[in-house]
Structure 1
Amino acid sequence: MIRFVNEHRDRFGVELICQVLRPAVRGFFTSRGYRAAVGRAPSARQLQDDLLVPEIARLHAENYGVYGRRKMHALMRRQGWDIGRDQTDAS
């Protein structure tokens, strides 16, 4: 959601985007919540995901792009990554 607001805030403004999307999108935050989220340091999960995404993409490409979630999870575990299946979506 933050990325969406960042991409469109110059055209529409943060307050308007949040005001329009809040009733339409369950869990969408207010403009105050957006500003708090932008100023926050990245979480441990986000930092780990930033390392995982290129590695998953590389391994997926090495296996001809045919590995699904189950095989990618097993491969990542064999490579020494301690991650759950939800983090190995190869798409």
Structure 2
Amino acid sequence: MKQRILRIFAEFKQRYGVMKSHHELNLELQPLQLRCSPRRISRLMKELDIHSGTVNKWKAASASKTKVEQRPNLLKQDFSTTGLNQKWTADMTYIQTKRNGWCYLSTIMDLHSRRIIGYSFSKKMATDLVLKTLESAVKNRTITGDLIIHTDLGSQYTSD
């Protein structure tokens, strides 16, 4: 049984877990009028120290329970600028890694140069990540005059 489980595991590129291995194994055993339970396959896979290499799909974060204070949209879809440091946009990107699971990249882009002027990377999506990104952008630029920072009003951007 162990040899058959190892063969199925290798044949399907180490992606099959207990239930899919159970199905494949029972298809092989059917002509012999034999069956094997998922529990037995689970035990044998543990003994062989093998497990599937699949990753859970990303799930959207649940909505915040607190009411988000609405703020005026100062850009109103006008992304044009006449110089640097007039309008910045900020956003977060979810990055799935094999070792650390979901990680988060926070960036700030200057709309005039269309370049990332500040960024920060973390395992946790928190306000601290946004603050580090803002500090990074301010260190890279000299700000004179009015500056608009446009975000999606996510919880990290609207927290105290």
TM-score, L = length of structure 1: 0.30
In proportion to residue count, which structure has more helix? 1
Larger radius of gyration: 2
In proportion to residue count, which structure has more strand? 2
TM-score, L = length of structure 2: 0.19
